Amino acid sequence: MDLGTLLPRHARFRAEHIALVMAERDWTFDQLNIEVNRLTNALLDAGLKKGDTVVSVLSNSSELVFLYWAAAQGGFVMVPASPMLQASGLETLLRDCDAVVVIGEAVFVPVFDKIRTNLPAIAEDRWIITAEDAPEGYRAYDAFLADASTDAAPDAGIRGDEIYNIMYSSGTTGSPKGIVLTHNIRGSYCTMLGSAFRMTPESVVVHAGSIVFNGAMLDFMPWMYLGCTYILHEAFDAGRVLDEIERYQATHIVMVPAQFVALLNHPEYRPERLLSLELILNVGAPLLLDYKLQLNQDLPGRFYELYGLTEGFMTILDKHDAIRKAGSVGCTPPFYEMKILDENGVEVTTGETGEICGRGPMLTPGYYKRDDLTKEAIRDGWLHSGDAGYMDEDGYLYLVDRIKDMVITGGVNVYPRDIEEVIIQHESVREVAVFGVPDEKWGEVPVAAIITQPGCNVDTVDLIAWTNDRVGAKFQRIHDSVVMEEFPRNVAAKTLKREILEMYLEKK
């Protein structure tokens, strides 16, 4: 599969169909192809060749969309860096991925100034800024494109097993690492997920999350494969999401739990505003059951959930299973296999918890330049997820928790999610994160951080008592609770429990 062939095809056969809408602007497929051709040729004119790595340090923008597809056409390796990286983290990423060009926003120039002298592989004229007037020592994006042709770039001769992009892990479980994704893998995103999500060329996607997050590729790739319409927001705003679903009669939306919580608690949320939706997909982490039940009640026949790893394993809870398997994260899609293993690598019985392992056509060939990590994660062709779960008698997966998030108290394994499902039922709690805190007697004990519903106050002592009366076992009892205005999150809007723990310990 050659991803670079998709956009030119739509520019030829669906030239006037609206491809992209952003910031009150829109581009037809023909117009989008012209922009991508120009950027591809500008990169080639700058001396890039097939296989060279281009790094973006961009929030959601038209330039970021153009760059994804210019990389596909030119055979470049696209690395979308998180705009939340600080100087040391960005320097490490740029060196690790062998970057030769950086395209970033003007706001990041002070960060670039700190690190660029340490990165000689990136030439002086290859630091490009998406601003009309770039500071001294940088090239303005428009000037970089000024003399580039809008004709199709020469055929890059791309093979399906060649690298399309490297996604660096979002950092909820430790040091980031580069996950290699080929044209064939992203091509499978196009075909398999387009089918699973019942997308068509007439679909209208609203996407309000960051498109540097791999979860964004769940609709970004099928969009280009099918040639439908993609409405991209610069940043997530629940009110705007509601408005634009209604305005554009959107059919598909992908969000993470924190965004669903914001949407369902928005004062202007009314289910009838979202009736055009055919797919409401939760990704990133399982949505707590109370919110799942609300969505299935308010908007029946639309809720899906995907559990997956950027490394290439996934399960999908289909809309037809969303009620009868409400606690599940679904089953494997076609061509995928899954098994649950104990700590000795032995497959467990139905209903028994162990490590989720899987294989299928989207499996990464490995971590970039890290054979050691690849051998650790992929053994005999099976990806070891680091997540704990079990399968029911029908083969549906139930995610228990990340093994790394597990709290071991008095020698007993406690999964934070079991406690979180209890606490979220409290009428004043909007979000909850349970984490383990070191304890001299027990080794670790569970502690709960919460965000309250607007206008509500919670006495933490009362919350501890309320929770401990309702958990299923004494070892699940929380030992403390804290109220926070907001949780620390990464660019994918995932809650960073490590940072919550650090903040908690600092205050203690």
Q: What is the mean pLDDT of residues 46-75?
A: 97
Residue 451 has pLDDT above 60, yes or no: yes
List the strands of the sheet with 480-483, edge to edge. Answer: 429-439, 443-452, 480-483
pLDDT for the residue 175: 60
For tokens 């700590």, the residue is 343
CB atoms within 10 A of CB 314: 24
Residue 1 has pLDDT above 70, yes or no: yes
* Tokens read off for 439: 């304890």
How many Å from the N-terminal Cα to the C-terminal Cα in the chain? 55
pLDDT for the residue 286: 85
CB atoms within 10 A of CB 454: 8
pLDDT for the residue 500: 94
445-to-69, 241, 506 alpha-carbon distances in Å: 48, 39, 17
Query: What are the sequence ranges of the domains in the chain?
Result: 3-12+24-182, 236-402, 406-507
Q: How far apart are CA 70 and CA 75, in angstroms?
A: 8
Q: How far apart are CA 20 and CA 28, in angstroms?
A: 7
* Tokens read off for 299: 């908007």
pLDDT-based confidence at residue 443 (cuts at 50, 70, 90): confident
pLDDT for the residue 173: 41
pLDDT-based confidence at residue 355 (cuts at 50, 70, 90): very high
Residue 349 has pLDDT above 80, yes or no: yes
* Tokens read off for 493: 């809007």
Please give the sequence-ordered ranges of beta strands (E in DSSP) within 224-310, or none if there are none.
229-232, 252-255, 279-282, 303-309
Nearest CA among 310, 59, 307, 359 for reference residue 169: 310
For the stretch 107-155, pLDDT in tens is 999 999 999 999 999 999 999 999 988 999 999 999 999 999 999 999 9
Please name the residues in contact with 60: beta carbons below 8 A apart, sequence gap of 6 or more.
22, 210, 211, 232, 233, 234, 235
Query: Does 3-12+24-182 match 236-402 in CATH topology?
Result: yes
Counting residues of the chain whose pLDDT is more than 90, the rounded percentage is 83
Q: What is the mean pLDDT of residues 35-53?
A: 98
66-to-40, 105, 166, 226, 252 alpha-carbon distances in Å: 9, 15, 17, 17, 22
CATH number of 236-402: 3.40.50.12780
CB 122 within 8 A of CB 101: yes
* Tokens read off for 226: 């099918």
CATH number of 406-507: 3.30.300.30
For tokens 């205005």, the residue is 485
| 227 or 174: which leads in pLDDT | 227
Residue 241 has pLDDT above 50, yes or no: yes
Residue 174 has pLDDT above 60, yes or no: no
* Tokens read off for 92: 């490490």
SS3 126: helix
Entry field: residues in the chain: 508
Q: What is the DSSP code (8-state) at residue 295?
A: H
CATH number of 3-12+24-182: 3.40.50.12780
Q: What is the mean pLDDT of residues 231-244?
A: 97
For the stretch 368-405, pLDDT in tens is 999 999 999 999 999 999 899 999 999 999 998 777 78
Q: How far apart are CA 51 and CA 49, in angstroms?
A: 6
pLDDT for the residue 153: 96
Residue 172 has pLDDT above 60, yes or no: no
DSSP codes, 369-388:
T-HHHHHHHEETTEEEEEEE
> What's the whole-model pTM score?
0.87
pLDDT for the residue 408: 83
Q: What is the mean pLDDT of residues 479-496?
A: 90
Q: What are the residue ranges of helices labelled H in 314-403?
A: 371-377
CB 225 within 8 A of CB 462: no
Q: What is the DSSP code (8-state) at residue 495?
A: B
* Tokens read off for 289: 């059951």
